[in-house]
Amino acid sequence: MTVYYQLVLDTILSCAETLILFQMYRAFLRRNSRPNKYYYLGLFSYFVFQLVTYAGRWPLFSAWIYYLLFTLLLACLFFADTLQIKILVTYLFVTLHYSCKLACSTFFMALKHADLPSVPSHLIQSPLSQIAACIVFILFTWLFIYFRSMRRHNKYNLYSAITYLAPAGILFIVIHQFYLRTAGQTAPFYLSESGILMCTSFALFYLIDKTEMIDEASERSLMASKLLEHQKDYYKSVEKSQHEVAAMRHDLKNHLHCIASFIELEQYHDALHYIEEIYANSRHLSSTVNIGNNLISILLNDAKERASQNNIRMTVNVMVPPDLPIDNVDLCVILGNLLDNAREACCRMEGNEEDRFIEVEIVFRKSFLIIKVTNSFNGQYILKENRYESVKKDQHFCGIGLSNVRTTVEKYDGEMKVTPNEKEFVVTVMLMLLGN
C-alpha cells in the first residue's frame, strides 16, 4: 500500500474513531454550558492524536495511558455528570477500543499463520485488521446505545442478560487461560485476553447504567421530599385560611351592627371609613388555590406565594380531574420546573415590577394533559442545538430545568414546545395520558 493510500486510510479510521467517541459521549453523558466550539476543538485534538498513533504505527497498548487521560480530560471539561460517571464512560471507551483491536489483529494474523509477538504491546495492526477493528468498535458502540434505549423503554429481558453473561464470560475465559498458558498457544491466549476486555466492557456498561439509575432514583427521592414539604406548607396554609375565615365570621355580626348604626345616624362618611378599615384588615388573608387536584393545588400555591414575595402577578386557569394517570414525581418535575423557571425569569427583569407576570393554564381533554406557562422575561435566551436555555448569572446550572422537563415529557411520548418573543417566554407541554 502506497504512502498516500495509507494516509487516507489513517485519516478515515481516525475520523471514524472520533465519531465513535462523540456518539458514546452523547449517549452516556450530558453536556455542560461550555461553548460547542471548544468542545469540537477538543474532539479535533483527539482526531489529531488518533491520526498520529495510526501514522506512527504505534504498537497496540503502547498509548493506552494517553487514550485514557485524553478521553477523561474531554469528559471532565465538557460534561456535567458526576466524576464517577465520567471515569466509567472513559474506561468503557478505552476498554472496548482495545478489545476490538486485539481481537481483530489476532484473528487476521492467525489467518495468515503469522507469528504473534510474545506481548501485545509489540503487536502492530495491519490495515485490514484496523478496518475490521473500527467496524467491530462501531457495532459494539451501537449495541450499548441500543441496550440503553431498551432499559429506558422498560424492555429488561435482553438488557438484564448482561448481568449474567459478562461475569460468566470472564470466569470461563480466565479458567481457559490456564490451559492455554500451559500449552504455549499464543494466538488463543491473545483471543482470550480480548474476550476478557470485551466482557469487562459489558460489565462497565452495566455499572454505568446502574450508577445512572441510582442517581435518577436519588433525584426522584429528593423531588418527593420537596413535594412532601410543599404538601405540608399547603395544608398549613389551608388551616390558616380556615381559622381566619372563622374569626371573620365570628366578628361579622359586630361589624354589620356598627355599619348599620352609622347608617341609621346618617354618618355615611364614618360608615364608609369603617368599611375601608375592614377591607384593609382583610387583605392579609391567605389566598389559597384549590382546583380539585391536590398535587397541582400544592405546586400552584407554593408558586403563587413565592411570586407574591417577588412582586410577580400570577394568574391561574386550571381544568383537570381530581386524579390524573401520571406519576406524582413526574408531574412535580414538569410543573415545578416550569414554575421555577418562570419565577426566576421574572426576577431577572430590570425596571418596572408591574410588568412581571406569570400565567398558568392546565387542561385535560380526551386523554391529553396540556400545561402552558407564560411569563415575562428580559428577552435574553440561548438557543443551543435546537434547545432553549435561560441566561443566568450562574451559568453552571443553565438550562437544567428545561432539560429535566424535556426528559420527563419524552418518557410519556409527549411534546414540549418553547416559543419566546421579545417580552414573553411560553412553554407548552402536551402529554398523552392513558388511564389505568
Half-sphere exposure of 24 (CA within 13 A, CB side): 33
Q: Tell me which of 382 and 114 has the higher pLDDT.
A: 114
With 0.85 as the threshold, say if the pTM is over it: no
Task: Give how far Cα 1 sits from Cα of 5, 39, 110, 168, 214, Å.
Answer: 6, 35, 21, 42, 51
> Rounded to a whole number, what is the largest CA-CA distance in the chain?
120
Residue 245 lies in a domain: no
One domain, residues 34 and 164: yes
Task: Choose the final residue of a domain: 195, 222, 249.
Answer: 222
One domain, residues 189 and 327: no
CATH number, domain of 403, equals 3.30.565.10
Please give the average per-residue pLDDT across 284-302, as a whole number.
Answer: 72
Residue 349 lies in a domain: yes
Q: Which domain holds residue 86?
A: 3-222
- 106 pLDDT exceeds 60? yes
In the chain, % of residues over pLDDT 70: 73
Q: Taking a C-beta distance cutoff of 8 angstroms, is the pair 416, 409 a contact?
A: yes
Q: What is the pLDDT of residue 394?
A: 45
Q: What is the pLDDT of residue 398?
A: 41
Residue 354 lies in a domain: yes
Alpha helices in 112-185 (DSSP H): 127-152, 156-183
320 contacts: CB under 8 Å, gap ≥ 6: 291, 292, 293, 296, 362, 363, 364, 369
Own/partner contacts of 402-407, CB < 8 Å, gap of 24 or more, are 402/337, 402/341, 402/427, 403/30, 404/333, 404/337, 405/333, 405/334, 405/337, 405/338, 405/429
- Residue 178 CA to residue 182 CA, distance in Å, equals 6
- Residue 216 CA to residue 365 CA, distance in Å, equals 30
Q: What is the pLDDT of residue 259?
A: 84
Beta bridge partners of 432: 368
pLDDT in tens, 235-280: 666 566 656 666 666 677 777 878 888 888 888 888 888 888 877 7
Task: Choose the final residue of a domain: 222, 237, 265.
Answer: 222
Residue 39 lies in a domain: yes
Residue 201 lies in a domain: yes
400 three-class SS = helix
- Which stretch of DSSP H or E encloses residue 224? helix 186-264
pLDDT in tens, 181-197: 655 566 766 676 677 77
Residue 176 lies in a domain: yes
Q: CA angle, corner 384, sides to 314 and 34, nearest 5?
A: 105
Q: Taking a C-beta distance cutoff of 8 angstroms, is the pair 297, 334 a contact?
A: no
Residue 262 lies in a domain: no
Strands 357-365 and 313-319: parallel
Residue 109 lies in a domain: yes
One domain, residues 18 and 140: yes
One domain, residues 115 and 201: yes
Mean pLDDT, the chain, rounded, equals 79
DSSP letter for each residue of 110-121:
HHTTPPPPSSGG
Task: Choose the final residue of a domain: 205, 222, 239.
Answer: 222
- Residue 39 CA to residue 79 CA, distance in Å, equals 10
- Residue 312 CA to residue 355 CA, distance in Å, equals 8
One domain, residues 296 and 218: no
Strands 357-365 and 368-376: antiparallel
- Residue 45 CA to residue 8 CA, distance in Å, equals 18
- Residue 238 CA to residue 297 CA, distance in Å, equals 11
- Residue 251 CA to residue 317 CA, distance in Å, equals 33
Domain count of the chain? 2
Of the candidate ranges 244-248, 383-387, 417-421, the one whose mean pLDDT is the lowest: 383-387
Q: 405546586: which residue's cell?
A: 299
- The set of cell numbers assigned to 397 is 446550572
- Residue 147 CA to residue 141 CA, distance in Å, equals 10
